[in-house]
Amino acid sequence: MASQALLIKDIHLEAKIFSRRLLLGVILVFGLSLLLTARLAWLQILDFDHYSDLALQNRVKISPLAPSRGLIYDRNGVLLAENIPSYNLEITPEEISDMPSLLKRLQQLLSLEESDLNRFRKQVARSPAFESIPLLTNLSDQQLALFEVSRHNYPGVEVLATLQRHYPEKELFAHLLGYVGRINEAELEKIDPINYRGTTHIGKLGIEQQYESLLHGQSGLQSREVNSHGRPIRVLDEERPTEGDSIVLTLDRDLQQVAYDALGDESGAIVAMDPRTGEVLAMVSRPSYDPNLFVHGISTKDYSALTSNVETPLINRAIRGQYPPGSTIKPLTALAGLENNTIDPATKYFARPFYQIKGQERKYRDWKRTGHGWVNVVDALAVSSDVYFYDMAHRLGIDKMAEMYDQFGMGSITGIDLPGEKTGILPSREWKKKRQNIAWYPGETLIVGIGQGYMLTTPLQLANFTSCIAMRGGCREPHLLKTQLSKEAGKQDLTTEGWQIELKNERNWDHIIEGMINVMHAPNGTARRSAADAEYKIAGKTGTAQVFSLEEDERYNADELARDLHDHALFVAFAPAENPQIAVSVIVEHGGGGSSTAAPVARQVLDAWLVKEDTKPDG
Amino acid sequence: MVELSGERRSRLSLRLDPILLLGILLLGVLGTVVLYSASGQELDVVYKQAVRIAVGLFVMTLIAQTPVHWFRETAWWLYLIALIMLVLVLVFGDIGKGAQRWLVVGPIRFQPSELMKLAMPMAIAAWFATRQLPPNTVESLIALVLVLVPMFLIVRQPDLGTALLVGSSGAIVIFFAGIGWRLLLVLLSAVAAGVPVLWHFMHDYQRRRVMTFLNPENDPLGAGYHIIQSKIALGSGGMEGKGWLNGSQSSLQFIPERTTDFVFSVYAEEFGFIGVAVLVLLYLSVVLRGFYLAYTAQDTFARLLGASLGMIFFVYFFVNVGMVSGLLPVVGVPLPLVSYGGTSMVTLMAAFGMLMAIGNEKRLMPK
């Protein structure tokens, strides 16, 4: 009954309501039409003289002037990103009567690619017809000559000289600088349309993206008088664009080169920083790519070659590569043990070949088949005893370890001035609960204590915590911008941000630093070969990170494994140990052992920096 | 042979409303005349526009033969399809970075928001048709949600102008359905109160865009340039205009988008205030004829749909002319039936086809 009642409608009431509303609609339509008519009468009748004058004078065309982009230097004034002249072929669509045939003729003359034409057509479709649009950028000398000879056949087509971005160091700084590329639709939504009117390129990655606002500058305007056909006659007024600010980075080109070469053809990353200031001196990620490819829009072939490469050259491993830290984390584990009085620096512990949690069958093996025998914390660091740290970690518990790692920045971004930094993973009870909704197992504490298991870090985080140790808790935020060379404000140096890690017992710094020195200089130190004949004292720590987990009784045998299952080789160090000037982290993907592969690489970087500093002291 | 009665004979002929058809044809012809001048005397443009009008008229004729209850029965399906396609556009737009308003299936390029322009008033009218008018608060609010969801999707494309037009095509139906004045007042106040809140949550660049939108003089090379040039063209046309093909503003190419969004500026420069008055009267007669067809329609669905189609046609006209004359912000709405362009022409003609179909149904009930 109820549903039927709904269908019986009062048709007369509905018609009445509708008629009343329709009447209101008619009144609205008339009112608004009157408003429009009045507005046009005002413009066309009352203001006729005014606009008539304006129309006669309307011989002025306004066009934007793009600012030239700021340059990028290394700390010694070596140019890393510059602007070089290039010639573009531009077309003003509204001056062309038959675009398809024009494009066909130009395609024959200059052997254009179909992709250029498609990009051009797309841009024509979304731009006002009076704006000139580049058909071809970066003309070759031959193309330039061919066009100039027959340019009278192509009214409405112009050759314009512009500045284009160029990266003279090519692959060396690709991940750091990033590159500029054509502004895409997504970026178009975010930029200031007024300031970017004449700008075609925008910083896409790295420093170019990070400091886009400094580097871009302020766009200008030019008004030109035109004749009755719209051709410019003379410039009436010009508001010059303000150049973008140039910037000086903390990087050292030569050190970067040494680090880049030291990695050889291996995939991996190196970060070197000055622990006193947080200045990043070198940051290498291999394999790399040539950023100049991207400036003009990379060809499909080149791009798919880069993206299909299994070694992922486009990724900046130094800030986006996440690796288990392996034994390089042991100094922090030791510090947690010392601070919580879980271990005593003097007490020796007998490190057997394996460790067992009471009441459990599973054997947690040491990397050394025979075990290390009697070791204290300093020895345990030097020989990298796993069993010593299993025991300590088990007694210490995950919460206190995680607290210490957290103080050194694990699991959070360092805040470096590069876009896209990853956080890594700092495993803890809460983290595991949130991620997998499973309780924490005691065995997991053990393997986190030696930097395996869930824990992941970026090479930058490794260099960062090594710097913190070097400065005995005086951490500095890693950064790349050293100086901003502003036209208006002059030279502006950047102040460094930092924080202090306070220990309950300051002496604990000595113990872990002594352990790290012994890694390099004690007769049983894991990286003693890499410190041989060093003119300065190094404090370091080797690490070997498993790519997959071994069964309890399996032994790792590189010869039997595919290359991409080989262990990652890691190494962190600072030097000189008593007066630290540089901290380094090295990771060689699938490089095998940290002491055999990663430490020698770091040694080359340390030598390049410290020996150079002896001869010409840095300001 | 049996003599066909008068009524039977008219059933065999194409059932097109002669007055509406005349208005549409006059506007279309006027449009091609202006386009010839606006395009710099390119016959190609005129030819293409004529083809579009012809295709549009064909679509209109087809739809005009359809019984009105078909519209009501397909309304929800059309609405649902348009909604799904709007979501697809957003998803694929995110991947492709290109123009997000278009859906490309093989050789066919299609703007789902155009379909929504028709589906929206149909669906809202269908919603009210099964209910006793005037609608209560809950029914009005449900209708409002039906209007806001596609609007939100179109805003995300982002295409604020189209979103507002699609939204108003639904809102107009709600108004004609007799939404209570008190509720209307509350909703309007809510919108007014929501503006500062929205502003608070916007990014800097979004605020800058809104500012440029409201005050184009901020951007002397973009929107501001368009408006300044357009006003000069309008004003210098004077009472009688500069004559066909003689508009200096348009031939010197100062008016941007002069075949599409700013075609009215070219018309007003060349035909003056007298021409403008004629054009306004033409549009008015089309709108009022549409209203009349809705008024004489036989049921609530047909009345609501017809009136809203007439009204939205007027809104397009008003927004476009308001925009080029500097009364309203520049939102990129073409002048209906006159501006150069494909999809919108077919949409418009389909709407007129529906209006004519409504006019064809005989009144069954006395007033």
A253-302+315-615 maps to CATH 3.40.470.10: no
Residues on chain B touching A40 (C-beta within 8 angstroms): 234, 268, 273, 276, 321, 325
Residue A514 has pLDDT above 90, yes or no: yes
Note if A327 is an active site residue. yes
pLDDT grade for A7, boundaries at 50, 70 and 90: low
pLDDT grade for B290, boundaries at 50, 70 and 90: very high
Nearest to B34 by CA among B20, B26, B310, B345: B26
Exposed / middle / buried, residue B165 (Cβ in 10 Å: 0-12, 13-18, 19+): buried
DSSP β-bridge partners for residue A364: A355
The H or E element that residue A560 is part of is: none
Nearest to A45 among B252, B273, B321 (CB): B273
Domain boundaries, given as residue ranges, for chain A: 62-249, 253-302+315-615
pLDDT grade for A546, boundaries at 50, 70 and 90: confident
Residue from B252, B295, B298, B300 whose CB has the most chain A CBs within 10 Å, to mutate: B252
> By the 8 A CB rule, do B126 and B177 touch?
no
Q: Which residue of A has its CA nearest to B213?
A: A193
Residue A19 has pLDDT above 60, yes or no: yes
Provide ipTM, 2 decimals.
Answer: 0.90
Q: Phi and psi (nearest 5°) for B358?
A: -65, -40
What is the per-residue pLDDT across A360-383, written as a single tens digit (0 to 9) for each?
888 888 888 888 999 999 999 999
Report chain B's C-alpha Rg in angstroms. Answer: 21
Name residues whose C-beta falls within 8 Å of residue A25's C-beta, 6 or more positions apart in sequence: B175, B176, B291, B307, B311
pLDDT grade for A320, boundaries at 50, 70 and 90: very high
Residue A321 has pLDDT above 70, yes or no: yes
Residues on chain B touching A186 (C-beta within 8 angstroms): 97
Residues on chain A touching B220 (C-beta within 8 angstroms): 62, 221
Instruction: State the pLDDT at residue A552.
Output: 55
What is the per-residue pLDDT across B162-203, written as a single tens digit (0 to 9) for each?
888 899 999 999 999 999 899 999 999 998 888 888 787 777
Name residues whose C-beta falls within 8 Å of residue A438's C-beta, 6 or more positions apart in sequence: A432
Topology given in CATH for the domain delimited by A62-249 = Penicillin-binding protein 2a (Domain 2) (3.90.1310)
Instruction: State the pLDDT at residue A393.
Output: 93
Nearest to B285 by CA among B17, B10, B14: B17
What is the per-residue pLDDT across B304-332, written as a single tens digit (0 to 9) for each?
999 999 999 999 999 999 988 988 877 77
Residue A396 has pLDDT above 50, yes or no: yes
Residue A61 has pLDDT above 90, yes or no: no
DSSP β-bridge partners for residue A365: A354
> By the 8 A CB rule, do B356 and B294 touch?
no
Span of A38-42, B223-227, B308-312 with lowest mean pLDDT: B223-227
For the stretch A321-358, what's the b/e string if a residue is b when 16 or more beta carbons lie within 10 angstroms of its beta carbon? bbbbbbbbbbbbbbbbbbbbebbebeeebebbebbebe
Helix-then-strand count for chain A, H and E? 23, 23
pLDDT grade for B252, boundaries at 50, 70 and 90: low
Task: Kindly report each contact of residues A220-225 with a partner whose C-beta sits within 8 Å and lies 24 or more positions away, as own/partner.
Answer: A220/A64, A220/A65, A220/A67, A221/A62, A221/A63, A221/A64, A221/A65, A221/B220, A221/B221, A222/A62, A222/A63, A222/A64, A222/A65, A223/A60, A223/A61, A223/A62, A223/A63, A224/A60, A224/A61, A224/A62, A224/A63, A225/A59, A225/A60
Q: Phi and psi (nearest 5°) for A469?
A: -65, -45
Residue A593 has pLDDT above 90, yes or no: no
Six-digit token pair at A564? 């991409």
Q: Which residue has the higher pLDDT, B114 or A583?
A: A583
Residue B6 has pLDDT above 60, yes or no: no
Q: Which amino acid is at A403?
A: E
Span of A544-548, B4-8, B352-356 with lowest mean pLDDT: B4-8
Residues B219, A221: C-beta atoms closer than 8 Å: no
Residues B256, A129: C-beta atoms closer than 8 Å: yes
C-alpha to C-alpha distances, A341 to A393, A396, A421, A477, A485, nearest whole angstrom: 12, 9, 35, 29, 51
Name residues whose C-beta falls within 8 Å of residue B183's C-beta, 6 or more positions apart in sequence: B137, B140
Instruction: State the pLDDT at residue A549.
Output: 57
Nearest to B176 among A21, A40, A129 (CB): A21
Q: Which residue has the higher pLDDT, B316 or A133?
A: B316
3-state secondary structure A290-348: CCHHHHCCCCHHHHHHHHHCCCCCCCCHHHHCCECCHHHHHHHHHHHHHHCCCCCCCCC
Nearest to B123 by CA among B305, B330, B314, B251: B305
Q: Which residue has the higher pLDDT, A309 or A1?
A: A309
Exposed / middle / buried, residue A494 (Cβ in 10 Å: 0-12, 13-18, 19+): middle
Instruction: State the pLDDT at residue B319.
Output: 92
pLDDT grade for B5, boundaries at 50, 70 and 90: very low
Rounded to a whole number, what is the distance in Å from the CA of B343 to chain A's nearest CA?
A: 16
Name residues whose C-beta falls within 8 Å of residue B225's C-beta, 6 or more positions apart in sequence: A62, B219, B256
Average pLDDT over residues A561-586: 88
Q: What angle do CA B88, B89, B92 make, to 5 degrees?
A: 80
> By the 8 A CB rule, do A253 and A272 touch?
no
Catalytic residue among A327, A385, A428, A530: A327
Q: Position of tokens 């139906």?
A: B173
d(CA A364, CA A442): 12
Nearest to B272 among A44, A55, A122 (CB): A44
